[in-house]
Structure 1
C-alpha cells in the first residue's frame, strides 16, 4: 500500500480514512460511555425518587392513622368527662384503660381539671406529675390549638421518653374545664421506622412544623430541622426536593400532617445513593480510556510519520522561500553584490553591479575580479585569499572599472564562505562617489562656518569695544556739562541731562550683555566631567553677600552628582537663576530658595524653586528670549538677557531648560544635563 503520495508528500486516501475512522470510533466510544453513565445515573436517581416517595406515603399514612387513634381516645375521654359528672376516679380510670387498650402507641393517659389537679391517670401519680402537667398546659395554651402535640419529654411516672398529645376540655359555657393528656411513646415511631425502612442510607424523621424532632432513624445530633428547606414557611405541604446546601446533597420526600402540625421527611444522602453508580462509572471510564489510549497510540504512530514528512516538506518550502527572498533582495538591493570562487572567477553578480558598471545582465559571470577591480589582479588572488582566510572578513577602500573604463570609488566588504569543500567570497560593494563628494562639500562648509564664526566673534568684540568708546565720551561730556552749567540750567534741562546720562549707561550695559550672550556656549573648551558640588559651592560663596542682605535661605542637597559640562558656564547658569530668585522676591515674605537634583538613567535634572512673585503662564516662552522684560525698569533693573544666556548655555550642553510658576506662588526652573557617572 502506498502510504504517501510521491508528488505531494501528503498522506494517501487510505491513511486519511484510517485516521478519520479512528477518530470517529474514539468519539463513538466516548459518546456511548457517556450515555451509559448518564443512563445509570438517571436510573438511580429516578428509582430513589420513586422509593422515597413510596416510603414517605406509607409512613405518612401509618403515622396519620396512629395519631388519629390517639386523638380519638383523647377526644372521647374529653367528651365523656365533659358530659358525665360525679363519676368516681376508679371508674374513670377503668373507662380510660378500656379506651387505651389495643392502641399500642398510647403509653399513658391523664385527665386534669382547670386548676391542674389530676382527676384520673392510668399510672400512679408521682412527684413529677405537677411539673409535667403545668408544662403541657402552658405549651397547649401557647399553641392556641384544640389539639396540641408537644416535644419529646421524660414521662412523669417512669422517665420513658414520650410525646404528649393534649386536648382542652370545656364546660357548657365554653370555659376551659381541664385538659386530657395522652402520653405517646417516642419509641413507637422508632420501631415503626425500623419496620418499614427499606432504603440503604435513608434517614426517616418525624418533626413538628417548627422543626423540633420527635423521632428519627438513624438518630442524628440535631434537635431541630428548622433551617432545612422543607420546613420553611414557603415550602409546600408535600413534595420532593434536592437540597444542595449541606456538605453532602440530599434527596428529600416530605409529607405534612396538617391537622396535627407534624411533618414527615424521608431523605437519602446523594453520596450514598450514587456509590454503586460511581463504581460502575469509573469502570466504564477506565475501559473507554484504555480503548482510546490504544487507538490514540496507533493514530499517534501514523501522525508521527506524517509529521516527519510534513517537517521535511516544510523545511524544503522554508528553504525555497528564504532562497527566493534572498534572491529578490540581491536583485533589488542598492548595494552591489558579487560572489567569486577561489580562482577569482565571478559566479554571481546582482543587477545593481551590472547597472552601475554598465554591463548587460549576466555578462559579468565567468570574468575575473581583476577585470572590474584593478586592485585585485589575478596573479595576487591567492595571496588575497590567504589573507581573507586568516581574517575571515576584510573591509577595504577600492575602485571599480566600468565598461567604458572609468574608475568608480567604492567601499568593499569581503566575507569568506565555505561550501562543498570549496571557498567562496561574497563582496558587498557600496558606491562612495556621492558620499565622498558630500563629505568634501560638508568639510568645505564647516571650514567656512568656522571662519565665519571666528569673524563674528572678532566683530562682536571689536564692535562692543568701538561702540562703548563713544558712549563713554557722551557720558563723560554730559557729566561735565552738568557740573559746569548745572546751576544755570532749568529743571527741565537738568532732567534732559539726566535722561541722556542714564541712556548712555543703559546702552553700555546692553552692549556688555550682548557681548556676553555672543560668547555664551562658545568657550571652545571641550566638555569635561564636572562636580556639581564644587560649582554650587563657588556660586554660594559668590552670592553670599547678596543672600545675607536679602536675609534669604538657600537650601542645598547633601550630595550632588558629576555631569558633563563646562564649570564656568554651569556656574553662570546657577548664578543667574539664584540671582533672579533674589531679585524677584516677594515683598511680604523672607526669600526661600531650594536647589534639588534628580538623576534618571543618564540624565540629571536640576530644580531651583523659590517663593517669589511668580510668573504668569503666558510668559513662560517669552522670558527665555533676548532683551525680553516683564517689568518696568523703575521696578527691576536689568536688560532681560540673563535667562537667554542660561538657555543658550544649557542647550550647548545638550540639555533643555523650562519653567513652572503661578503669580504670587513662586517659580521653579528646571534644566537638564548629561550624567557623567551613575548616581
Structure 2
C-alpha cells in the first residue's frame, strides 16, 4: 500500500497557518490601530474639553471681575463725590443720586448709603427704609479696620422677605483726610451670574460655581446641587477633592468618580471660578466606541470579512470624533473672534503670529498690519524697557506667566491706550516656543483715576484758598494745621500756632470775660466723644486780645484706632450780628408803628361810622334814592375799615403779645379749633379726618389754635358747591422739622397766586362771593414764622388744596 501523501495536507496546513498568521497579523495590526485610535480619541477629547473649559472659565471669571469692577467703580466714584461734599447728604437727594446710579448697574439689586454711625441715610429703591448697620460685618470692616472696599456673601437681601440672597460689595466714604463719613453698599443679584453661566452652558453639564476664598458658594449654575452659601469643599459631589490656592486644571480621582476640574483665580478680587466635568460625561461616547471595538476584535477572530466591516465602522466613528473636535475648535475660534479681550500670540522673538479682532481694534490697525512685527513696535516708549525685561524673563525660564499694566500706541491716531496684560508662556521640551497674551483695555479706568487725583490736588488748593478759617487739631487738641484765612482772621502766623493748645490760644474766655473751662469747650468735647459740634454764636480771641464773634463746626477725624484729631472750620460773624440787630430794631419799630396807627385810628373811625349810621337812620327815605345809596356805601365802608383795623391790630399782636413757648400737644389746639368751627362744620356737612396722634412741639398753644382755625375755616369757606367738604389733617417728620398738612377738596388755587395769598389784605375773589378782609393766611404765615417754620401749599383749580407748615422738632 502506498503511503498517504501528506504534502497537500502540509500545504493546506501551511496555507492555513499562513492565512491564520496573515489574518492574525492583520487582526493584530488592526487591533493595534484600533487601540491607538481609541487612545488618541480619548486624549483628544480630554485635551479639547480641558482647553475649552479653561478658556470658558477664564472668560466667565473675567466676566465676574468686570461685573464687580463696574459696581466698585461706581461706588468709588460716588464715595469720592460724597467725601468731597462740605454738607451732609440729604436723604431725598441721596436717594435720587443712588437711584440714578442704580440705573447703570443691571447686576445690582439696590444701593444704600449709611452715615458714620451706621444709620441708613438713603436706599435707591425704598423711600422709607430704616436700618442701623453698625453691627454688620461690612460696616465693622470699614469703620474699625479701615478697609477701602469689602466683599461678602451670600447673605439674605435686606428689606426683602422673599428669602433670596445677594452678594454685598461695599465702599468706605472718607473726607480725604482719613475722616470716616460712612459706607456705600451695593447688593448684587447672584442670579445675574447664574443667568450668564446658563447662557454659556445651556445643557448644564459644567457645574459652574463662583467661590470666595473660604470656598463658599456665591453663585452657581445649578443651585439645587450647589446651593448659595454652602461650603463648596464639603459638597457630597466633591468628597475627596483637593482644592488649590491658585488657578489650575486637570483630572482628580474621587471616591467614586473622576472629575475634570478647572479653578480660575478672578483678577483683583478674592474669588475663584470653579468648573467641573465628570469623567463619565466626558468619555461617554468614547466608552461606547470602545465596547463596540471589543466586539469588532472578537469578530475579527472569527472572520476576516467582519474585520473589514468593523474597521470601516471604526473609521466612521473616528471621523465623527474628528468632526466633533472641529466643532469644538470652531466654538473656541468664535470665542477668540468675538470676545472684547484682546488676544495676541507671539513667537520666542516677540514677533506677532496672530491677533484677534479685539486687539486689532484696540490698536487701530488690521490684523495683517500687525502680524509679523515685533510687539514692542506698538508699545509706548516709556513701557518698552519693562515689557522687554518681562518677556526676556519668560524666555529665560525665570517666569512662566506675568501680568502688568502697560500702554500701547494706536496706529491710526497715535493716541495712548492703557491696558492690563496677562502673558503666559507655552513650552516644548522645557523651552518657550510661544506666548499668549490677554489684553484688556483700561483706558477709561485710568482716566477716571487721573481725574480723581487731579480733584484731590485741587481740593488741597481750595483748602488753602477758602475764605473760612480752618484749624487742624491733633488728638491732644494741639494745632497741627492753619490755613491762610485763619491766620488773617486771628492775627497769628501759622508757625506761631502750630503745636499749641487751641483752647488756650483762641477760646480761653467767654464773651463776658469770664474764664472758659476747657472741659466744656466744644473743640475739646469733640476729641473726647467723637461727635461733631456745631456752634452758631461764640467768640474767639485774636492775637491782639480783641474778641471776634464766630460760628464754627468741630468735626472729629476718626480712623480705625480711634479719634486722631479734629477739624475746626470757623467764620467771622460780626457783620451778620450787626445786620441782625439792625433788622430786629427795624422790625420792632415797624410793629410799634403799625400798632400805634391802627390803635389810634379806632376812635375817629368809630365816630365816623356812628354819625354815618345816624344819618342813615334819620334821613332814610327823606332824601332821594342816590343819597340813600351813598349813605349805605359810607356805612359799609366804615364797617369794613373797622374790621381791617381790628385785623391789623390782631396781626401786630402775634409778635408783640404772643404767649411764651411751651411744650404743646398739637392735638389740643386742633380740637379747640374744631370746637370753634363746630357749627360751620355741621352746616356744611363737612368730614374732618385727623391722623392721630399729632406730635408735641414748643409752641404758643393759642396761636396754634388760631393757625388750625384759619386753615380749616378757609377749607370750609372755599368749598366746592357740588360736593361735601372733606378735610384731612396729618403730620410727618423730615429731618429736624415736623411737616403738618391740612388738605381739602375745595375749589383750589391757581399756582400763579401762591405767593400773593400770604400777603396782608390780598383777596382772589369778590366780597359778595366770599366775605372777609384777606388777612387770614397772612396771620398764618406770621404765626408759623414766629415759631421758626415756613408755610406753603400745593393746589390745582377744581381739585382742592394742601397747605403745609413746618415746626422745629422739640
Give the TM-score of the pair, scaled to structure 2.
Answer: 0.34
Instruction: Point out which structure has higher relative CO (alpha carbons under 8 A, 6+ apart).
Output: 1
